[in-house]
Amino acid sequence: MEQKIYLNGEFVSRKDAKVSVYDHGLLYGDGVFEGLRTYNGRIFKLQEHMDRLYKSAKYICLDIPLTKEKLTVAIIKTARINGQKDCYIRVVVTRGEGDLGLAPEKCKNATVFIIIDKIKLYPEKLCKEGIEIITVPTQRNSSQNLEPQVKSLNYLNNILANIEAKNAGFKEAIMLNREGFVTECTADNIFIIEDDILKTPSTHMGLLGGITRGVVMEIAKKMSIEAKEETISRYNLFGAQECFLTGTAAEIIPIVKIDGRTIGNGKVGSITNKIRKAFKKFVDADGTPYL
Ligand code: PXG
């Protein structure tokens, strides 16, 4: 079946899905987005992603030209038309076409598009054995610069950190804030287990409030694993019993080494494995149907 992309209210083929070179999403990274996925014909945590999208848009004073309900219907429709049971959904809203100046008020119509694509599945080996990551020099944006809770089209901060990790031969980077505390990775949130307690930094440290992060906190509480937001330093990372990352695409990725220090016994931890299993069950039972 040919891929159909929703673009400003119409369904078009990939080759016709084009936006202007004057679009401020392209010229200035002026816009917001969401990355969702589906499991077996159901969109995972659709409402939560929509809430985050509209909050991101509000923060940057961008009026999404559709109500939340109408955009939700458009997403469901786009997923249905594309007909894949397990897919990735990218929803993007840009400031729209303007002139070459920054002035957002010159952009009269926001650009809205929805892409349904294949979900990138992480190799099972990586999830079984865990990965090694590093902290990098590029700091996460502070809230006073560009609020990291806003999922904006400005990802250069994270891309730079990603490049630093790749240059050093690693797949992911842990980004610290200006005070040197742990925030998140370049496209995933981070958790540690310390004193048998599941810990993740608060969004006030400067990080995206991940949907998967929220689900993991919920699952942990249901499993009677104590879970809380806490300030995490590199000292806490290196001394942790276990560590893992969470994200829509990545789901739950175990970390076995950070900055050359082995985490726990260097094997994927038992609590991480328990949470991974519970997460799989959770996603099977949840979601908005579209087929
Ligand atoms: N932090 C950042 C900076 C992110 O971009 C997450 C954490 C995890 O949030 P969620 O809500 O997904 O649990 C993200 C999300 C991709 C891709 O294509 C990236 C994300 C989500 C989906 C796809 O690389 N990042």
Annotation says 166 is catalytic: no
Residues 83 and 158 in one domain: no
Distance in Å from the first CA to the final CA of the chain: 15
Q: Say if ligand 1 is within 6 A of residue 189 CB.
A: yes
pLDDT at residue 1, as a whole number: 74
* Cα 45 to Cα 53: distance, rounded to the nearest angstrom: 12
Number of domains forming the structure of the chain:
2
| Within a domain: 137 | yes
Q: Say if ligand 1 is within 6 A of residue 206 CB.
A: no
Domain that holds residue 138: 124-284
Q: Say if ligand 1 is within 6 A of residue 56 CB.
A: no
Q: Say if ligand 1 is within 6 A of residue 210 CB.
A: yes
Q: Which of 84, 117, 150 is the last residue of a domain?
A: 117
Ligand 1 center from residue 214 Cα (angstroms) = 13
Q: Which of 66, 98, 117 is the last residue of a domain?
A: 117
Residue 83 maps to which CATH number? 3.30.470.10
Q: Which of 15, 151, 199, 267 is catalytic?
A: 151
Ligand 1 center from residue 148 Cα (angstroms) = 12
pLDDT at residue 127, as a whole number: 86
Residues 155 and 253 in one domain: yes
CB atoms under 10 Å from CB of 265, counted, come to: 10
pLDDT in tens, the chain (291 residues): 789 999 999 999 999 999 999 999 999 999 999 999 999 999 999 999 999 999 999 999 999 999 999 999 999 999 999 999 999 999 999 999 999 999 999 999 999 999 999 998 888 888 889 999 999 999 999 999 999 999 999 999 999 999 999 999 999 999 999 999 999 999 999 999 999 999 999 999 999 999 999 999 999 999 999 999 999 999 999 999 999 999 999 999 999 999 999 999 999 999 999 999 999 999 998 999 999
Residues 12 and 61 in one domain: yes
pTM listed for this prediction = 0.97
Q: What φ, ψ does residue 219 adopt, rounded to 5°?
A: -60, -45
Pocket test for ligand 1, best of 191, 202, 248 (most atoms within 8 A of CB): 248
* Cα 33 to Cα 49: distance, rounded to the nearest angstrom: 10
* Cα 183 to Cα 210: distance, rounded to the nearest angstrom: 12
Residues 78 and 189 in one domain: no
Residues 171 and 271 in one domain: yes
Ligand 1 center from residue 49 Cα (angstroms) = 11
Q: Say if ligand 1 is within 6 A of residue 24 CB.
A: no
Residues 113 and 128 in one domain: no
Ligand 1 atom with the shortest distance to the CA of 214: 13
Q: Which of 117, 132, 152 is the last residue of a domain?
A: 117
Q: What is the 3-state secondary structure (H, E, C) of the chain?
A: CCCEEEECCEEEEHHHCCCCCCEHHHHHCCEEEEEEEEECCEECCHHHHHHHHHHHHHHCCCCCCCCHHHHHHHHHHHHHHHCCCCEEEEEEEECCECCCCCCHHHCCCCEEEEEEEECCCCCHHHHHHCEEEEECCCCCCCHHHHCCCCCECCCHHHHHHHHHHHHCCCCCEEEECCCCCEEEECCCEEEEEECCEEEECCHHHCCCCCHHHHHHHHHHHHCCCCEEECCCCHHHHHHCCEEEEEECCCEEEEEEEECCEECCCCCCCHHHHHHHHHHHHHHHCCCEECC
pLDDT at residue 126, as a whole number: 87
* Cα 78 to Cα 75: distance, rounded to the nearest angstrom: 5
